[in-house]
Amino acid sequence: MTGKSAPPAKKPAPAAAKKKAAPAPKEEAAPKEGAALKEGEAPKEEAAPKQEAAPAPVPATEEPPAPEHPPEQPPAPTDEPAPISTEAGAEETPMPEEGSPPPPAEPPAPVPEPKLEKPKEEPPSCPLSLAVEEVSENSFTLTWKTPEQMGRASLDGYVVEICKDGSSDWKAVNQEPFLSTRYTIPNLSSGDKIHVRVMAVSASGTSVPATLEQPVLIREILQLPKIRMPRHLRETYIRRVGDAVNIMIPFQGKPQPEVSWTKGGQPLDTNRINIRNTARDTIFYIRQAQRGDSGKYELTVQINGAEDKATLDIQVVEPPGPPQNLKLVDVWGFNVALEWTPPVDNGNSEIKGYRVQKSDKKSGKWFTVLERCTRTSCTISDLIIGNTYSFRVFSENICGLSNSAAVASGVAYIEKTKTTYQPEKIPQRDMMEPPKFTQPLTDRTTTRGYSTHLFCSVRGFPQPKIIWLKNQMEIREDPKYIALIDQGVCSLEIRKPGPFDGGVYTCKAVNPLGEASVDCRLDVKVPK
């Protein structure tokens, strides 16, 4: 029995050898696994050679004791897959025989392409210039400006949130965003201090809130009543009959003042005049103005005994009536004198002047001879002899000319006066005068072959006769000399003189009343 049981006792020896050799592959497998991952090889191929290096089985009697502590192993990287274990129940990879080539490497797994993330859209920037416009006893009004940057998405609107002082509970006032940059927060309690902030909202998000630095105190701000009368209403407001009167007069005051209108201390006739009052202005309206609507209207704005008054002066005008009692006062020569009296109705406006027109019987057309004549009389001149004239006069005010004119009852006939022409007697003047030289001859020197001129001037009536002499010898028709006289100026031209042309030349003037003479010397030089 003991001999037969001995062989089974030797079977654990290879198992102990395997357990002893088991840590060795782990020390070398760690670095090779990293290399296998870089080359795309599976870690199973590296584990096969390590099993061939295990020692041959030893008899159980000679089995060395197992070490108490196995050798330290380097930690395997956490990202790399652990080697496939050859535990019981797992299929073992067939080991290649010694001397045979390693199996072909598996192709690397395809690397998935990284997905491009869409850039996040930036929300709009915060609203600008947040401020309080008005505060009342139970509300206040905010204003602000649009953000500088809206983002890619369009702006949906704004959200207004409030929070009482001392609390951190912010509540939205508006249920949905709105696009207006002005908002009134109602239903507040007087005396509360309210913090407020405004945010811009778009599809990409909500902006950083714009916040007031100080809380808003809800209380009524008292303001004395004050009428802001427009500049053009500080003077008389003039309208024509039939025109509409529509006047708006602003005022201020808190709380809302009481507005009242009177005319001459009496309430207005609401059948003709409509008054509409708002918190900031009052409107005075008349559909069709009549002259009876003219006058001074008093506007009163009152708050708890404090009041302010203003006067509105309205003048409704129309064209004036024609002048009265136009008549011809006198007609003399080419002139006519007219007189008249002012019109009975001046159209509720001052008469600025009169326009006078004339019409002659031949043409029948009216022509204006005077405009804006400020007097009630005039004189018309430069009328044509032999014509018959009629005259009319219009009155004029701020609306223009009167609808009709005053026509003179009589006509003016410009008669032809009989006159005898008597020419004026002019005394005869004795114009006779003996000759007299006003400019004498002057001595001259010339060169042979060059023509020369002698000049002098003479007067006398009748016109004297001119005679030229050379050396006391009269110069007659000689082509060498040309004598002329023009307007009393005498001239003698000597053409191409020679040495024998020199001498004394004399000009003599003779008429029935006497004679006169002047002379000069002419020298002719011969060039060397």
Domain residue limits, the chain: 128-218, 223-317, 327-414, 433-525
Q: How confident is the model at residue 303 (pLDDT cuts 50, 70, 90)?
A: confident
Encode pLDDT of 201-249 as tens digits.
988 888 899 998 889 888 776 788 999 999 999 999 999 999 999 999 9
Class of domain 433-525: mainly beta
DSSP state of 90: S
pLDDT band at 110 (very low <50, low <70, confident <90, very high): low
Residue 22 pLDDT > 60: no
What is the structure's pLDDT at 322?
A: 95
Between CA 241 and CA 318 the distance in angstroms is 6
Which region among 131-145, 451-465, 479-493 has the lowest average model confidence (pLDDT)? 131-145
Q: Which two tokens stand for residue 379?
A: 């004189």
- For 498-508, what is the mean pLDDT? 93
Share of the chain above pLDDT 90, in %: 52
Q: Are 123 and 205 in contact (CB under 8 A)?
A: yes
pLDDT in tens, 315-367: 999 999 999 999 999 998 889 999 999 999 999 999 999 999 999 988 889 99
Q: Is the pLDDT of residue 24 over 70?
A: no
Which whole number is the average pLDDT over 153-161?
87
What kind of architecture, by CATH, is found in domain 223-317?
A: Sandwich (2.60)
Q: Specify the higher pLDDT residue, 231 or 154.
A: 231
Location of structure tokens 């005010």? 397
Q: Over pLDDT 70: what percentage of the chain?
A: 77
Cβ contact 526:451 at 8 Å: no
Q: How many other CB atoms sit within 10 Å of the CB of residue 289?
A: 20
- Beta-carbon contacts of 253 under 8 Å, excluding residues fewer than 6 positions away, are 223, 224, 225, 226, 301, 303
pLDDT class for 116, splitting at 50, 70, 90?
low
Domains 223-317 and 327-414 alike in fold: yes
What mean pLDDT is reported for the chain?
Answer: 80
Band (pLDDT 50/70/90 cuts) for residue 477 is confident
Within 8 A by CB and 6+ apart from 512, the residues are 462
Mean predicted confidence (pLDDT) in 33-45: 40
CATH of span 327-414: 2.60.40.10
Give pLDDT tens digits for 391-439: 999 999 999 999 999 999 889 988 877 777 788 888 878 888 999 999 9
Q: Among candidates 344, 282, 342, which has minimal Cα distance to 309?
A: 282
Q: Is the peptide bond before 250 cis (omega within 30 degrees of 0)?
A: no
> Which one is the CATH code of 128-218: 2.40.160.40, 2.60.40.420, 2.60.40.10, 3.30.750.80?
2.60.40.10
The percent helix, strand, coil of the chain (3-state, each to 5) is 10, 40, 50
Distance (Å, whole) CA 414 – CA 381: 11
pLDDT at 59: 43
Helices 44-52 and 23-39 pack at an angle, to 10 degrees, of 150
What's the pTM? 0.44
> What is d(CA 345, CA 349) in angstroms, rounded to the nearest whole number?
9
Which of the two residues, 397 and 79, has the higher pLDDT score? 397
- Is the pLDDT higher at 460 or at 42? 460
